[in-house]
Structure 1
Amino acid sequence: MHDDAQILAHAVDGPEDAPVVVMGSSLGTDRHMWDAQVPVLARRYRVVRYELRGHGRSGTPRTEGPATIADLGSDVLRLMDHLGVASAHHVGLSIGGMVALWLAQRHPERVERVAVVCSAPYLPPAEGWLTRAATVRREGMGALVDAVMSRWFTETYDDERRRAALRQSFLAVDPEGYAQCCEAVAGMDLRPELPSISAPLLLVAGDSDAATPPELSAAAAETLRAAGAEVRYEVVADAAHISAVQQAPAVTRLVLEHLDAQDPVRAAGTRVRREVLGDAHVNRAQERTTSFTADFQDLITRYAWGDVWTRPGIDRRMRSAITLAVLATLGHDGEFAMHVRAALRNGLTVDEIREVLLHIGVYAGVPVSNHAFALAQQVLDDVESERS
């Protein structure tokens, strides 16, 4: 950590030789906003969480005139230079996302992939931000805390301990640093140069975010697509502005998928896994991922789905038939039921599934076949019920 106002305070996690991910937080929060994401990301990325000027342990520099988004972006570049990071992936929420977009526009050589969460390239009216800056300079952070935090979470968010910690973080922000960040947002309009961004982008919105409504991210995504950019736009359900806290598993999944897309084996594995098992199943599996299970999930994605299921030697129908036979024989009931659904997605008919289960009765035993028939019937009944 550094108290020097010239270098942003920061925390670094993950392997020293791993690709670097620079993460910027929302206005009024510190690096702990990303606490839920770090244990998973740091398994295979070098995660650098910085704190905005005046936030956390970062000092507040003196400025001549209003601060700009370029000033905040330069803060991050200075930190990267300090750490010896030539280029990195950039992930940011709210003002952190604005800084990431500015870096992608003005310093593309320092940017790999970009994930922008609950943010926008333009957030008027400027008068509102300037009024907020004047208020904290005059009355302190307590004058804004209730109004600002009322937009951070939906009514369903019930983690009072986490809410209280974020409140304390907000109240601990240096009013001058907060005011400078407000000035930067007031004077910012990144829309004209948005089409110049060449880095692959992920834009994530919270469906109930009143601070940066989803339509702002959707409009940015359309502009980027029209310019030929590689962009993915996703909306997270039951999430207001600080979605990385309220819906941490969903945001972690989206960010990790976006960063992993640089690896062709992981990207292919994720694609095939979704095609075979369905988005709902894969989302649940990834959103349950912890630092303890992250390596195993990566193993499944890379080697089972990225290496084996993508091989051209046999088609997916045959792979499904083989998988059903092996899982039934070994008595892996949960995986077997999941792969009955997968077999249907891969084009096996109910008659063909029946033939596979009859066949294993001869070679693996009638009791095995009988049990497999019972499990498969439950799945088929559920599928039929879902379709009706």
Structure 2
Amino acid sequence: MQVLNRPWGAMHYRIDGPADGPVVVFANSLGTDLRLWDPLLAEMPGIRAVRFDKRGHGLSDEGGEFRVEDLADDAAALIEHLGLKQVVFVGLSIGGMIAQIISSRRADLVGAVVLANTAVKMGTQQSWDERIAAIRSGGLGSIVDLVMQRWFAPKFRAQPELAIWRNMVARTSASGYIAACHALSAAELTDAATRISLPAMVIAGEQDGSSPAELVKATADLVAGATFHVIPDAGHLPCVEQPAAFAALLGRFLKEHSA
């Protein structure tokens, strides 16, 4: 396990894959840690994968209150710390918001970007306030089943593997999760999306209850030249439900755009 010391505390990260493989940096969704990408990486053994736990998630420190822009700064600091340039940056959900910001600001570090199951605006102030109130009242366990319904297609929810993802969310730090909810409620990234000038691919899940495909498509339309794909039989985490399909899309993108 590796750690980058940030002003707010310890940031846990991990590197896997061959040293000469194309470098891909992955940013996770709300309520997950870097293990989110395990099913996808099993399909892509040739890449050099850099993953990290954002503030308040996984093995990283809490980090107090923050904005999505601060999370993008953390990702940029990690890329600089590792001496990398022109990486392909893949972000999902709030990770996709991180990806929008870093790819619009740091073309010196990011050479191409993949935005998965994300948008320039996710949820409303009211919806985030209600979720925060529910967590403060009953803990993450009080919302986790609803999260699973929004995240996964019915076929996946019937599988025993669902318990792994349910536990990951339920065991996330409540204060870290709430801090991320505040960051999401304040984020509106239309300006960032329209300033992305890098090669971009946008991915949606056909049965995503958190960021429906039409919402993701509206964001793709803001990114000049972006390609858009919908993965069938997948919800909010297609890298978990349909890793082979996600890997096929990412593999083609890497052949065209990795340094």
- If the length of structure 2 is used for normalisation, what is the TM-score? 0.91
| Closer, same or farther: CA 158–126 of 1 in aligned 2, 3 Å | closer
Q: For residue 68 of structure 1, report the CA deviation from its aligned partner.
A: 1.1
Give the AA of the match of 2:50: V
Q: For residue 6 of structure 1, report the CA deviation from its aligned partner.
A: 2.9
Match of residue 249 from structure 2: 254
Q: For residue 41 of structure 1, report the CA deviation from its aligned partner.
A: 3.0
In terms of fraction of residues, the more strand-rich structure is 2
For the residues of structure 1 that align with 2:128 and 2:22, how far apart are their CA atoms? 35
Contact 2:88 2:258 in 1 (8 A): no
Say whether residues 1:25 and 2:28 are aligned partners.
yes
Task: Point out the structure with max Rg over C-alpha.
Answer: 1
Match of residue 62 from structure 2: 60
Give the AA of the match of 2:28: S
For the residues of structure 1 that align with 2:258 and 2:27, how far apart are their CA atoms? 23
Identity level (%): 33
Q: Which segment drifts farther, 52-61 or 125-134?
A: 125-134
For the residues of structure 2 that align with 1:252 and 1:87, how far apart are their CA atoms? 20
**Which of 9, 12, 17 is equivalent to 2:15?**
12
Contact 1:70 1:102 in 2 (8 A): yes
Q: Which runs of 5+ in 1 are unaligned?
A: 265-388
For the residues of structure 2 that align with 1:246 and 1:236, how far apart are their CA atoms? 10
Say whether residues 1:245 and 2:240 are aligned partners.
yes
Q: For residue 136 of structure 1, report the CA deviation from its aligned partner.
A: 2.5
For the residues of structure 2 that align with 1:47 and 1:129, how far apart are their CA atoms? 31
Q: For residue 158 of structure 1, report the CA deviation from its aligned partner.
A: 5.4
**Which of 228, 234, 237 is equivalent to 2:229?**
234
For the residues of structure 2 that align with 1:27 and 1:10, how far apart are their CA atoms? 16
Superposed CA RMSD: 2.0
**Does 1 or 2 have the higher relative contact order (CA < 8 Å, sep 6+)?**
2
Show the 5 A alignment for 1:178-327. 178-224=177-223, 229-262=224-257
**Which of 38, 55, 69 is equivalent to 1:35?**
38
| Closer, same or farther: CA 219–137 of 1 in aligned 2, 3 Å | same
Q: For residue 177 of structure 1, report the CA deviation from its aligned partner.
A: 0.9
- Deviations, residues 6-55 of structure 1 (Å, cap 9, x unaligned): 34212211122433211012111111211121134341x21011122121
- Deviations, residues 119-166 of structure 1 (Å, cap 9, x unaligned): 111113122113323432443211211111111111112563321111
Q: How many residues align?
A: 256
Q: For residue 185 of structure 1, report the CA deviation from its aligned partner.
A: 0.9
Q: Which runs of 5+ in 2 are unaligned?
A: none
- If the length of structure 1 is used for normalisation, what is the TM-score? 0.62
